[in-house]
Amino acid sequence: MVSATTAAAVDRVRKRIETEGILAIRGIRKEFPGVLALDDVQLKIRPGTVHALMGENGAGKSTLMKIIAGIYQPDAGEILLRGEPVTLKSPLDALEQGISMIHQELALMSWMTVAENIWIRREPKNAFGLIDHGRMARQTQELFDRLNIRLDPLAQVSELTVAQKQMVEIAKAVSHNSDVLIMDEPTSAITETEVEHLFTIIRDLRARGVGIVYITHKMNELFEIADEFTVFRDGRYVGTHNAADVNRDDIIRMMVGREITDMFPKVDCPIGDVVLEVQNLTIPGVFHDVSFQLRQGEILGLAGLVGSKRSNVAEAIFGVAPASSGEILIDGLPVQITSPKVAMQHGMAFLTEDRKETGCFLMLDCLENIQTALITRSHVRAGFIDQKTVTRLAEEMAAKLRVKTPNLAEKVENLSGGNQQKLLIARWLLTKPRILILDEPTRGIDVGAKSEIHRLITGLAAEGVAILMISSELPEVLGMSDRIMVMHEGHVSGFLDRSEADQVKIMDLAAR
């Protein structure tokens, strides 16, 4: 039995949600020292829709999401949840009000199990008030079954791959059964097949009336999954539209305020002698008999699914975790690459996959982050760093890549995710490598900067640099590579020439 007044109240709330959406943001402003991250922005999320939030690196997307998730407090503006103004003072507040979030930077507790990570603060208890680990594992298994995720609930998170961690984060966010689910670049660490998996989950949530905010830099995803989208530029609101009403160029124009014509500015350049040759490289149980040649001026794309061990091959070549058997030849001569230092002496550079774990020094400033690789090789005289030159070079490179920061003295921790990635690219480009290994070079980078980085990569190839590029974004692999090597579960499953390659052939080889 529902009393008349309750029914009326429910009705009022329903009406308000219809007009205001499940979540409405108005006039939000947020300032950090030296940066106005958000200035009078608005956003309205309707239940049962996927709302994409678009904008360049540093546009303020993550900042707004963190405000909605209770991590930052806005300087001005209001948040309406189910039509009612709310203040979200802490992440707990937001979670309890039905807002959960998948963070741009992975946020899991590495030394705990998958189940413990998912149910933290909500652990099931037994009759004695103690945590019931058995039930927690079963609950996790049920959640995974529902989401079709195949992971051991009792595995330790520290032992999962980045993509598996991402799936855990997704499951954790879903497990809150929130009305509003925020996903900040959920696909930046996973491959196409898993993206499909995620989209299935999203569609299911949408059908159940959840309002989803989806942040991505991948345009094709926007058209595949989003119903509406909102664009921010430099911390300001630009506009909201139905995804069906616009095309890709319209969105890019809204985002960057100018035209970007050529996404993959690949120029044909002469391909020279073999610089790097790898023969039967093996780490038992990880990858086996990997052989390939890389020539001067060539871009060799390396495609494959998660678990194909592409990154492990790159790490072996760069000496991070040397292979146990097989040979590496540089300029036709066999070399022993026992550490990254040796690799750098041979003119190699390696942009790693996980910027937070193996890339950035988060506590240091931008300049220090850019110069670390350079000063191990040059610009040091009698033990002293030639700081003036190094600073100039760093500033030039940062400007070229359009790193958005008040100045290079800013702590890297405070930069937006995409701008951190740009800093790392700057770090390696400064060393003027002969062999450049890039592992997901444009992860989390906006369209404008992406084409800029692609232009730089092709430019380097034209100058004769040999480039090995791992990427999970098939358009990027197809657009940039001269040749494509595909791996499947630690084995090379085939090579494709630029002329013959297409998405279907790559996926065929990758999935077998």
Ligand X SMILES: Nc1ncnc2c1ncn2[C@@H]1O[C@H](COP(=O)(O)OP(=O)(O)OP(=O)(O)O)[C@@H](O)[C@H]1O
The residue ranges that bind other proteins (CB under 8 A) are: 69, 71, 90-92, 95-96, 101, 103, 107-112, 116, 120-121, 123, 129-131, 133, 148-152, 154-156, 158-161, 163-164, 167, 193-194, 196-197, 200, 305-307, 321
> Which of the listed partners (Mg ion, ligand X, other proteins, none) does 160 bind, with a CB threshold of 5 to 8 Å by partner kind?
other proteins
User: Which C-beta is closer to other proteins: that of 101 or that of 213?
Assistant: 101
In degrees rounded to 5, what are phi and psi of residue 377?
-115, -35
Q: From Mg ion, other proteins, ligand X, none, which one binds at residue 130 (CB under 5 to 8 Å depending on kind)?
A: other proteins
> 87 or 110, CB closer to other proteins?
110
**Residue 395 interacts with which of ligand X, other proteins, Mg ion, none, CB < 5 to 8 Å by class:** none
Minimum distance of other proteins from residue 142's CB (angstroms): 15
Would you state the structure tokens that stand for residue 216, as one six-digit string? Answer: 């991505």
Name the nearest CA neighbour of 294 among 431, 429, 435.
Answer: 435
Q: Write down the least CB distance from residue 171 to ligand X, Å.
A: 23
φ, ψ dihedrals at 146, nearest 5°: -60, -40
CA atoms within 13 A on the CB side of 291: 5
Query: Beta strands of 309-421 (E only): which ranges?
Result: 325-330, 333-335, 348-351, 380-381, 384-385
Residue 187 CB, nearest approach to ligand X (Å):
13
CB of 455 to ligand X, least distance (A): 19
Q: Which does 131 bind (CB under 5 to 8 A by kind): Mg ion, other proteins, ligand X, none?
A: other proteins
Stated as kind and residue range, the H or E segment containing 225 is: helix 219-225
Residue whose CB is nearest to Mg ion in the complex, by number: 62
- Closer residue to ligand X in complex, CB, 66/427: 66
- Quote the CA–CA distance of 135 and 57 in Å, as a whole number: 42
Q: What is the DSSP letter of 372?
A: T
Scanning 416-467, the segments in alpha helix (DSSP H) are: 417-430, 447-462
Q: Which is nearer to ligand X, 9 or 107 (CB)?
A: 107
Which CB sits closer to Mg ion, 101 or 437?
101
List for the chain the helix, strand, coil content (%; round to 5).
40, 25, 35
Q: Which is nearer to ligand X, 30 or 266 (CB)?
A: 30
d(CA 35, CA 15): 38
Instruction: Count helices and strands (H / E) in the chain.
Output: 17, 22
Binding at 194: pick from other proteins, Mg ion, ligand X, none (beta carbon under 5-8 Å per type): other proteins
What's the closest the beta carbon of residue 183 comes to other proteins, in angstroms? 14
85, containing H or E segment: strand 84-86
Asked if 275 contacts 294 with a C-beta cutoff of 8 angstroms, the reply is yes
The Cα–Cα gap between 207 and 201 comes to 10
Closer residue to other proteins in complex, CB, 150/258: 150
Minimum distance, C-beta of residue 478 to ligand X, in the bound complex (Å): 24
The closest residue (CB) to ligand X is 418
With b for 16 or more beta-carbon neighbours within 10 A and e for fewer, the 292-312 pattern comes to bbbbbbbbbbbbbbbebbbbb
| Residue 406 beta carbon to ligand X: minimum distance, rounded to whole angstroms | 8
376 binds, among Mg ion, other proteins, ligand X, none (CB under 5 to 8 A by kind): none
Given Mg ion, ligand X, other proteins, none, residue 112, with its beta carbon under 5 to 8 Å by kind, binds other proteins
**Toward ligand X, which CB reaches closer, 369 or 493?**
369
Q: Helix H segments across 236-290?
A: 248-256
The footprint of Mg ion (CB under 5 A) covers 62, 104, 416-417
141 binds, among other proteins, ligand X, Mg ion, none (CB under 5 to 8 A by kind): none
Task: Name the packing angle between helices 248-256 and 447-462 (round to 10°).
Answer: 90
Closer residue to other proteins (CB): 169 or 410 = 169
Q: Which is nearer to other proteins, 112 or 269 (CB)?
A: 112
Output the smallest distance, CB 128 to ligand X, in A.
43
Q: How far is CA 284 from CA 78, 121, 261, 288, in A?
A: 57, 40, 45, 7
Q: Dihedral sign for Cα 386, 391, 392, 393, please.
A: positive
Minimum distance of ligand X from residue 210's CB (angstroms):
22
Minimum gap (Å) between residue 93 Cβ and other proteins: 9
Cβ closest to ligand X, residue 357 vs residue 502: 357
Q: What's the maximum distance between 2 C-alpha atoms anywhere in the chain?
A: 86
Closest contact distance (angstroms) between CB of 131 and other proteins is 5
150 contact choice in Mg ion, other proteins, ligand X, none (CB below 5 to 8 Å, kind-dependent): other proteins
Least distance (Å) between residue 200 CB and other proteins:
6
Contacts of 12 (CB under 8 A, 6+ apart): none
CB closer to other proteins, 308 vs 451: 308
Instruction: Answer with the entry of Mg ion, ligand X, other proteins, none that 111 interacts with (C-beta below 5 to 8 A by kind).
Output: other proteins
CB crowding 131-152: b at 16 or more within 10 Å, else e: eebeebbebbbebbeebebebb
Distance of CA 180 to the CA centre of its chain: 21
DSSP 116-147: HHHHTT---B-TTSSB-HHHHHHHHHHHHHHH
Q: Which does 389 bind (CB under 5 to 8 A by kind): other proteins, ligand X, Mg ion, none?
A: none
Residues near ligand X, by CB under 6 A? 32, 35, 37, 55, 57-63, 104, 404-405, 414-419, 444, 446
